[in-house]
Amino acid sequence: MRFGQLIGFLALVISLYIIWQIRQIVLIIFAAIVLATVLNQLVKILQKLRLKRGIAVSISVIIVFLILVGFFALIVPRIIDQLQQFGNIMPMALERLRTWNNWLQGVIPDQLLENIRGLRYITQGLQTWLNQLIRNFFSLVSSSLSIALGCIAICLPLVFMLLANPSPYRQGFILIFPAFLPSEDT
């Protein structure tokens, strides 16, 4: 391996390491670019209807906002209802399991019960497992909300900037990553 190739390889490894360290920021920027690209198509359609770009951007953002609000208005009440049903059913299910466990301990002979030690601790272990499941569920919901709020706080301004005037960002991207075309001399 020549020295230039070694330097290029080291630069690639260091770049990949840096990108991995800032992967969340890169993901948000990528999401903003994708969303701006999709919305730009709607803006172009609105511009064909002889609307100015600023008005077309505003209308497209309002349309997307209304779609998101409608989506959450349909989904969130159902999720809350199901969580309330789950909260009501769980104590009854645990009580049935305890009753079944007590009945099973009365039916199974004591000698066999000693051989099956885990049967006495089924309800206790299940209660612990369910508590962990509920805790992890609320942790997942909390993390999802923080990600959504982060996207709203960071991604939406980027989308607006990219939609308002995409030319400078496109030109900057092209300057950062130029196309290396082979020269005709070689």
What's at 119, amino acid-wise?
Answer: L
State how far the alpha carbon of 129 is from the alpha carbons of 8, 94, 117, in Å. 51, 12, 18
As a whole number of angstroms, the distance between CA 34 and CA 41 comes to 11
Q: Where are the domains of the chain?
A: 22-167
Q: CB within 8 A of 164, min separation 6: which ones?
A: 53, 54, 57
Q: Residue written as tokens 């308002």?
A: 164
Q: What is the pLDDT of residues 115-132, one digit of tens each?
A: 565 555 665 676 677 778
Of the pLDDT bands very low, low, confident and very high (cuts 50, 70, 90), residue 49 is: very high
pTM assigned to the model: 0.57
Provide the pLDDT for residue 183.
60
